[in-house]
Structure 1
Amino acid sequence: MIPELCDQRIRQFINGSDFVLAMNEDNHVFSWGDNHCGQCGRKATPFRVYLKPEVISDLNDKNITHICCGFKHSLALTTDGQVYGWGSYYEQYQNAEGSDTRVINSCENHYKSFFEELSDNPIGSGGFGTVFKVRHRFDEHIYAVKRIHKEDEIKNHMEVKNLVKVRSKYVVQYYNSWTEGIILYIQMELCEYNLQNILEVKLQVFGRQLGEAMDSVEYLISCEIFRQVLESVQYLHELNPQIIHRDLKPENILITLGKAMDCVEYLISCEIFRQILESVQYLHEMNPQIIHRDLKPENILIAENIRNGRFVKLCDFGLATVHDKRVHYRTTQKHTADVGDMRYIAPEVSQGGKYGHKCDIYSLALIGGNIFEIDLFNLELEDTNVYSELYQILNEPVYRLQTILISMFRTRLWHRRPECSEVLSEYNEWSIDRNILANDTRFDGILSILQSNDNHLFIELSAIGSGGFGTVFKVKHRFEEHIYAIKRVEIKDESEEYLQRFYNEVKNLIKVRSEYCVQYYNSWTEGNILYIHMELCEHNLQNILEVKQQVFDRKLGKAMDCVEYLISCEIFRQILESVQYLHEMNPQIIHRDLKPEN
């Protein structure tokens, strides 16, 4: 037993010539053994003075993923591709003095080599450093990098150590840290906004004066923000040992935004939103109008069987009401107040005022915000708005879409909100031309697979059975990687009677979807081949009968022992139950080809 490593949750050991490295689940690296060349990552010691296990503290904040040992040197790889080395570089890397120091060097220009600053001005600064929005030159992801002068080394290392400890959805994501001269760099998840930004614009967004009561929507959003802040601090306090933040303030509570969509996702989102608008427009153009009053994602269904090119359907008309303009606009009569889902209810409905069909438009704006991941409560429109630097062709359509959603959402006088038909009339401005995707290689790849039928979705692994009704292959799905069986049947005669024999198998498989029968998934034809996609069962009863005597060491004609007899009873019971299932269907199904192979 190695006492120093007890409770360290070690997951990897690597041996050098006469020293050892180990890495635990927190990616901390330990070393022990001979260290006269500094191969243990500590100050060099005399030859054959063996060290006890100890953590290499210089690597604690480096996010190490792999370690390896040479004869007298060690290497460590980080998540962002940096390689750290120490010890003697031996034959190829031996320098004049012999590498006997414990200094672990990284590229002095790592920041400039790997990152490109995206703005001249930092996105945040304070007593503990300055934060820049950057793009990684290789993976092209956007990050935040905090740059700190090393005057107070203890405080600086404390921030890094705490970020490493608290890797969680509740805390800004830490990726890496390194030093260049007197500067400490900390690479983190980018969150461009903080709670202070929200507090500064909240009154203006909701059209409320300081001291006035919040409406239901603003109060609900405030509750959600406060709940998430409480959960984040609770996470720190429940750590063992506890962590006390000691600098909680709105500026230190960050708001994360999603990444921009690519062209394919955006076009699909536009199509979904278009069909939702058309569905609501249909209700509003009826005479008399119908107001849904409970529009939300849960009440917008996606149909599996597409008819007339439409797959979006509205449901749940329990709160819907008829809106007769002659009655509701010319009399004091008004619709019921405060109905619908609090997340999507229009202000005029929750406040009990008069309202019309355009309360649905408010809900649609929020649903559009969900689809396109646009935060309408905090969106600030600027002429220079850049949605995506990678997909710049989206910048103009998204800006137009944001403008339209704002008009649907923020207009205080509800009757001035646009009609669905008006939003749809600008579809070509806020969507993108499908021809743009002709240059998208990923889209082409998906399209080619779809155009070449389902068979190209599978990789054949082996043939597992054949007979008069076709050959069965064991296959792997290219995308989901599950294993299935596909029966391939050659259609040699196109007469109706001949074809009916094959299609009967498919029809019956669809009818008998049950635990008693092999699971049917799909079927299709390619040329003169019928394919049936099914659950994989690699063995049949005939296989068992062929080996049963050998397994139980019994000669033909000899009596079974109790174990073999019990297993045989269980097999026969399940066969009887399966056939009984077919015979109890209405109408009955007669199998007509029962045999051990089936």
Structure 2
Amino acid sequence: MNVWFVTNDDLVYTFGNNTYGKLGLGHNLIVNKPEIIPELCAKNVQKFINGDRFALCITFDQQIYSFGSNECKQLGRHTISNDNNKPAIITYLSDKCIIDIKCGSYHSLALSSAGTVYGWGHNNRGQSGCGQQQQQQQTLDCIDSPTHESQKIHILEEVKQLQKLQSKFVVKFYDTWIESKILYIQMELLSNSLKDLIELKAKTFQRKTSEPMDCIEYYITSHIMLEMCECVEYLHTRQPPVIHRDLKPANILINDKPLDNRFLKLCDFGLATDHNRMGSESELHTKNVGTDKYMAQEVREYNGIDRVAYNEKSDVYSLGCILLDLFDVNSNNDMQ
């Protein structure tokens, strides 16, 4: 049980079991006697709403604070490290004149004075009201004032590519906006990647890395390979073709509760580029982009040349390197 209360002099106290840091004290230790929440004092808090692993509160001036677990993005804000355990304003709602809030177990809802309802968090049964039912969550990412021009370009390129690539083969893009010089990107949340699967696969099947796969593991691995190839084929059959340029296990995400029996989706299109052939098989593109282990030889830097000729086959090379990892094949150094 967790308890919050406000005194006549506008001090906010709390105590309780504090699982997932949902008391808003900056830690997840049990609190047996009331302690002050400094961030909420003198804020004229009107109401607290208790979710399963998180909490919201609304102030008299219609500001919404959230704290606790953010595993399903139910806090409605970007969190770093353990700052989710302390109350902070959901800035997206600051100017929306919110008059009421509600929580489910892993999702949240807010009602504005204009009658608009905002929803965020887990949406496996459509409970957040954000379009069709999704077995996965929605994530609300934000990038705070990128300091380098290259970082800004990377972010904007990813947004541009995601807007074009609305498909079951690619992580779903929902929305983007700029607020207080912060760029927010709302997209589908898939928590696991092929990198995680590769690291755990041999152990799951109780196999040493030097031992061959049994027929079941081989069948599952082959199906994963097929889905990977279909994802890359989707990019390369666009008009014009799209070269991902940073294919690696960490950029292939896993949907553990798919609606269409597909488990893999591509993400991180910050380095992706269109390939306009213009009657030629190859076009000049930026050199030396991507992750070294999975980078094709023609993409690497040579002789100080800024742009080199390559095409979507560079992704196929990256795909082959991933398959070596997936099938637990020891490649020699010059293949990498």
TM range (shorter): 0.3 to 0.5
Q: Which of structures 1 and 2 has the bigger CA Rg?
A: 1
Give the TM-score normalised by structure 1. Answer: 0.22
Q: Which has the higher helix share?
A: 1
Give the TM-score normalised by structure 2. Answer: 0.37
